[in-house]
Amino acid sequence: MFKLLGEDASVKIDEFEQMRQLLTDFKKSSDTAIATFLSEAYAKTEESKQTIKKAVEQTESIAALLPTWQEITKRAEKLGVETVLRPNFLFRVKCELVKGLTSAGFHLHHKGFVQFAMHLHYRFNPLPKQKLPKRFDAVVEDVLIAQLEVLVSIWQALPRVVKEDMPEVIQALFRPQVELELMTNAVDVLVNRWQASKNRMMPDELVDFFANFKPATEDSPASMYWIVKAWQADKESNNDVHERVKHLSKQYQDAEESWKKEAEEKLKQAEKAKLLLEKATAEKVRSVICSSPAELKKVQERC
């Protein structure tokens, strides 16, 4: 049972059809009520391990309540597109719910959570740049990045046995023209931001991506090799997958090369500073006390 907090009174919801109706019927519910419900639903999953377990058990039901892109767009049109990125807005709460449930679900049930994760992902319905509603053009980059964070969380949570032995799951979660395209869109945005930044600090989202998605040439649970392997039997999609993974791998390798160059440059600067310091400390410093300017002049002439 869920409790929806309205402006005048609280309403108990024990049927998911009722909540879905409230999410779509703007005449019968307030915007504040919907946002409050979703925000509180996520907050409570962090209060205790027992509550998290209960939430994971209700994954299918919670997935059915996730707002659709149509619902998010309608709400954004009503409140302003900039509200899409607010922590308590439908889109952000949706992302956090999927991240939290996926991570907790695989932690608690390992590969037994696969079917629930796939259903949750289906309801999450990630969209690459070209498929996002035009209404989001002003905030499209941040919407892509927020979705990327969810995909990173899913990849990180997936047990190795799923990556190695269940290619059908990888195909459902990382499709070439949906998730892989989205990842390419978002990573390109983050790389451009990083290169344009004055302090050359890599965005946290990009650091997280590179930490969890390794090039396909690496042998590790984080390697994108498992995505390539899952699609290798699909002749129609295989080339597309290879191209996108190749692009993402190159971004990783370029970033790694950039880190090395910066590290080498900083090391050179440090060595130069050390030599200057050693030279300065090696020079003998003598002090002379003079009683008058005339005496100081005589001392200078002798030196």
Q: Band the pLDDT of 16: cuts 50, 70, 90.
A: low
Task: Tell me what pLDDT residue 39 has.
Answer: 39
Check whether residue 110 and residue 17 sit in a common domain: yes
Region 135-148 average pLDDT: 96
Check whether residue 208 and residue 94 sit in a common domain: no
**pLDDT at 181 > cutoff 90:** yes
Q: Mean pLDDT lowest for which of 28-42, 86-100, 221-235?
A: 28-42
Q: Band the pLDDT of 22: cuts 50, 70, 90.
A: low
Check whether residue 196 and residue 116 sit in a common domain: no
Task: Tell me what pLDDT residue 234 has.
Answer: 92
**pLDDT at 142 > cutoff 70:** yes
Q: Band the pLDDT of 271: cuts 50, 70, 90.
A: confident
Check whether residue 105 and residue 22 sit in a common domain: yes
Region 132-156 average pLDDT: 96
Are the beta carbons of 149 and 208 closer than 8 angstroms? yes
Check whether residue 114 and residue 9 sit in a common domain: yes
Are the beta carbons of 228 and 239 closer than 8 angstroms? no
Q: Is 266 helix (H, G, I), strand (E, B) or coil?
A: helix
As given in the structure block, the two tokens for residue 162 are 């799923």
CA 180/CA 178 separation, integer angstroms: 6
**pLDDT at 32 > cutoff 90:** no
**pLDDT at 120 > cutoff 80:** yes
Q: Averaging pLDDT over each range in 84-98, 175-189, 265-279, which range is the top one? A: 175-189
Task: Tell me what pLDDT residue 180 has.
Answer: 98
Task: Tell me what pLDDT residue 291 has.
Answer: 75
Provide the mean pLDDT of the chain. 84
CA 105/CA 255 separation, integer angstroms: 32
Q: Structurally, how many domains does the chain consist of?
A: 2
**Which position has the higher pLDDT, 300 or 100?**
100
**pLDDT at 26 > cutoff 90:** no
Task: Tell me what pLDDT residue 176 has.
Answer: 97
Check whether residue 170 and residue 118 sit in a common domain: no
In a domain, 175, yes or no: yes
**Which position has the higher pLDDT, 24 or 70?**
70
In a domain, 137, yes or no: no
Check whether residue 172 and residue 266 sit in a common domain: yes
In a domain, 209, yes or no: yes
Is the sign of the CA dihedral 66, 69, 74, 77 positive or negative?
positive
Q: Mean pLDDT lowest for which of 51-55, 101-105, 193-197?
A: 51-55
Region 192-220 average pLDDT: 92
**pLDDT at 223 > cutoff 60:** yes
pLDDT tens figures, 68-113: 999 999 999 999 999 999 988 899 999 999 999 999 999 999 999 9
Check whether residue 121 and residue 20 sit in a common domain: yes
Check whether residue 1 and residue 117 sit in a common domain: yes
CA 21/CA 19 separation, integer angstroms: 5
In a domain, 131, yes or no: no
Q: Band the pLDDT of 138: cuts 50, 70, 90.
A: very high
In a domain, 45, yes or no: yes
Check whether residue 112 and residue 164 sit in a common domain: no
CA 36/CA 43 separation, integer angstroms: 10
In a domain, 77, yes or no: yes
Check whether residue 246 and residue 176 sit in a common domain: yes
In a domain, 177, yes or no: yes
CA 54/CA 70 separation, integer angstroms: 29
CA 57/CA 49 separation, integer angstroms: 12
Check whether residue 184 and residue 87 sit in a common domain: no
Look up the domain containing 76 and give its range.
Answer: 1-125
CA 6/CA 27 separation, integer angstroms: 13
Q: What percent of the chain has pLDDT over 70?
A: 81
